[in-house]
Amino acid sequence: MERLGHCRLTNLSKVYGDAVALKQVDLEIPAGQYCCLVGPSGCGKTSTLRMIAGHEQISEGEIHIDGECMNKLEPSDRPTAMMFQDYALFPHLSCLDNVAFSLRMQGRAKVARHARARELLSLVHMDAYEKRLPSQLSGGQRQRVALARALVTNPSVLLLDEPLSALDPFLRVRMRDELRRLQLELGMTFVHVTHSQEEAMALADMVVVMNEGEIEQIDTPQDVYNRPASQFVARFIGGHNVFNATVTESSETGTRLNGSQGAAYMAPVADLSPGTAVSFSVRSDKIALSRSGDTPMTNSVTSDVGLVEYQGAWVKLGLKAADVEELTVMVTEDVFNQMPVQMGDQVVVSWVQSDIHFLIGKKMLSVDDQWGGDR
């Protein structure tokens, strides 16, 4: 069978005693995609990865790769390879022998396995270090060797368990770029577990946001960020302020909303009945700032400044306002310099109607929905 890397999880569940780690998850990952499973600790993402690899028993459901059921196959018989968070290199073996180890277990001749290992070390720019032991390498270099070792058997699906978490921020960005380069060059399916929203956005073709053992949203990075499906996704992915309000009128020009403390909002057209309680989000970089006392307008809130955090090109403002638990505004340095504020100041924040996004619950997409039906 030709190995392409198409992965399908059907009704997948995992139970540890009384604890449910995964709840009947359905997920389809097209061949050649870079898929990131993202979510907080304990959401089920690592359990999902380990079940695909065969390192965890499945409580319920099925895993198929390229049409073949994986449930009864040992990890060594699956067309997968796993790169562990701690890299798990053998300390007494050189880089070359670490990479060639899987081929040695397969009975490959020394000359053949070393030739293949050198190919992979060259691919990750570590060929000059083939004789070194892991203790003689930096963290980034050990990661490259671990990646070469995972790739040496030419798997259909490469599984990565938080591979960048042990690296410093600068090296993490460099290795992130390297992972994406390799995935595109090899055309292989990568399934990458991370708790970093930024990492998922930078790497993935498809982002799977998980929470409490379930999938909250499957989408492209752009759609997850711009159109979060739920309050959880909006808050976890970041960059969104979540408001609560009640529908007062729905017309061809938009949806009128009232906040709990008298604020009036005008949202895009939506099929919502008067009296319906709704949540909506507004991106923090879409909010304008003006002085308190300016003419009140729809989609404006008077707020007290509780935080001013300089971030270089951007300045982050933390505000206290009605109808929202936390109100964050991101303004450019130039905008902030034109209207500097400090903690304790009162300001007015506002946004345009089209920048309101209703949060309607979990969003489960089919592969055709995700990729326009042309894959």
* DSSP symbols for 146-193: HHHHHHTT--SEEEEESTTTTS-HHHHHHHHHHHHHHHHHHT-EEEEE
What's the chain's length in residues?
375
Q: How many CA atoms lie within 13 A of 178 on its CB side?
A: 19
- Whether residue 350 lies inside any domain: the answer is yes
Whether residue 235 lies inside any domain: the answer is no
Within this chain, do residues 179 and 244 fall inside the same structural domain, yes or no? no
Are 215 and 267 found together in one domain? no
String of DSSP letters for 99-127: HHHHHHHTT--HHHHHHHHHHHHHHTT-G
Do 292 and 163 lie in one domain? The reply is no
- The per-residue b/e assignment along 243-260, b for 16 or more CB within 10 angstroms, e otherwise, is bbbebeebeeebbbbebe
- How far is the C-alpha of 360 from the C-alpha of 356, rounded, in Å? 13
Residue 1 in any domain: the answer is no
Q: Is there a single domain that holds both residue 129 and residue 213?
A: yes
Range of 168's domain? Answer: 7-230+364-371
What confidence score (pLDDT) does residue 27 get?
97
Asked if 91 and 116 sit in the same domain, the reply is yes
CB atoms within 10 A of CB 340: 10
Residue 106 and residue 16 in one domain: yes
Nearest to 50 by CA among 204, 217, 162: 162
Bridge partners, 75 (sequence order):
none
Q: Same structural domain for residues 259 and 346?
A: yes
Q: Find the CATH number of the domain harbouring 305.
A: 2.40.50.100
Q: Is residue 20 situated within a structural domain?
A: yes
Predicted structure pTM score: 0.88
| Confidence (pLDDT) at 295 | 58
Q: What is the pLDDT of residues 46-88, one digit of tens each?
A: 999 999 999 999 999 999 999 999 999 999 899 999 998 888 8
- Which helix H or strand E contains 249, and what residues bound it? strand 240-251
Tally of domains within the chain: 2
DSSP 311-353: -SSEEEEEEE-TTBS-EEEEEEHHHHHHS---TT-EEEEE--G
The pLDDT tens digits for 131-169 are 999 999 988 899 899 999 999 989 999 999 998 887 888
Three-state DSSP class for residue 51: helix
Residue 208 and residue 374: Cα distance in Å, rounded?
Answer: 20
Q: Match 């008298």 to its residue by tokens.
A: 262
Q: What pLDDT, on a 0 to 100 scale, did the predictor assign at position 317?
A: 96
> According to the model, what pLDDT value does residue 371 have?
36
Residues of the chain with pLDDT under 50: 1, 363-375
**pLDDT value of residue 111:** 95
Backbone angles phi and psi of 267, in degrees to 5 = -105, 170
Query: In the prediction, which pLDDT does 1 show?
Result: 41
* 260 shares a domain with 336: yes
- The answer to whether residues 220 and 294 belong to one domain is no
Instruction: Examine the domain organization and report whether 218 and 257 are in the same domain.
Output: no
Write out the DSSP string of 266-319: EE------TT-EEEEEEEGGG-EEEETTSPP-TTEEEEEEEEEEE-SSEEEEEE
What token pair was written down for 26? 């359905």
User: Quick one: 166 and 312 in the same domain?
Assistant: no
Which CATH number do you get for residue 59? 3.40.50.300
Q: Is there a single domain that holds both residue 184 and residue 258?
A: no
Name which of 280, 278, 272, 282 is nearest 249 in CA terms.
272
Task: Tell me how far apart the alpha carbons of residues 307 and 148 are, in angstroms, rounded to a whole number.
Answer: 45
What backbone phi and psi angles, to 5 degrees, belong to 91?
A: -65, -25
